[in-house]
Chains A and B, each alone.
Chain A
């Protein structure tokens, strides 16, 4: 078989070629589509790689606390648990107050207390104010009791910056500071407001940090504004004893 025969054989082999249906425009469109697909793929790849790098490097860039948790500028604590805990504490204080008052004055019946955060006014339902002002007490409420005359209440109020003794004593027929064994100071005051009987008795315990708790007894029911009586249902010495009760954690 000569080279010439091979040459002729190859030419004859393509002699019956099928018709060519070739469109350059179609080919160009295919290439452009392929190029745009490749560009999109590269963009997605780069974006994925960047996200991966950032997500891996971000924890290393942020400062860490001792417990290896991500440190924020301030500890992130939701307000709900704090309120819940403080409310529970206020209620515990109220329960202890009611217990101690019952123990000290056995003639009282139906002794209970409602203490809550902020300013608590009115009867019923002794609801705390929903919006709190800076002048509002930190905690307030009533200790309800019923004696031989009828139902009444003691007013309880705790403030962060207690007023000085002289403002408590203004208009009082008796006012004294009683130094307690633990170093705290209790101011006892009684008011007659022009009458022969004591219309209000008040005991204020001031702590070293300015925190002050006041329990007052009135010749009316401070929770309802009614139930006027001749004198206060609970004397100031009892109020001081309640303030100084070791089982109550005021602060």
Chain B
């Protein structure tokens, strides 16, 4: 049976290859830092379960030290010229599109297959495992037809990852910070603060505090999942559901979506907001957030009104 462990090995080998290729890139002034950074990430993927909690913590400290001292970057220039790409596009066009669509298609097919046919792969991780299989299949088909130099996919993949840089592990780092926040009881303190800020006897005031609180606390934590239990305990349950008799399904479902509006406007949700800015090579690292504010703010207002209308 294929498990998530297979995907971690695949990721570990990919990062190890990026590290090795990066070490040989003499155009890159930070090649040692890059190699160490991706090498440590490879170690984490391949052997994280054997390093122990403290060992993993030290690994993280080393990653932070490399990134924090500016020892990671990308080599200047030497991308494949646009004219060469345009000529190749004219010859291979639709084949390229087909290969690009293999990854989502296999992810889709595998997700269903692994749920319906038990024993092939861990059904709980069906999509991630299928995504990895999609990558391998797409790579195999692409290599067979295009016949590039054998290392070209890894070299180009490494160049893409180098341009994302340390932001590549930002989502994982923020998720880990959330765990430390939970351990320290940050949520309860914030919940109490918001709970005391609500005017007595005002239903709409309580709904407003709940919706805004979900959005604001999600912005701080970068994740609506972290905000939800806190806001439910502080405002949702005692006031909206128990005191005013609101429908718990509406309060919970739309409250969560109010939190998602916060996710759209916070750099803490790095994988949605900062990583794509790096991946698309935007000059403004907050460009994606800027584009989302105009959707998030009116949608939050709509959500607050929806709770008020539908729950009571």
A and B: bona fide binding partners: no
Binding site for B on A (CB under 8 A): none
The residues of B with any CB-CB pair to A shorter than 8 Å are none
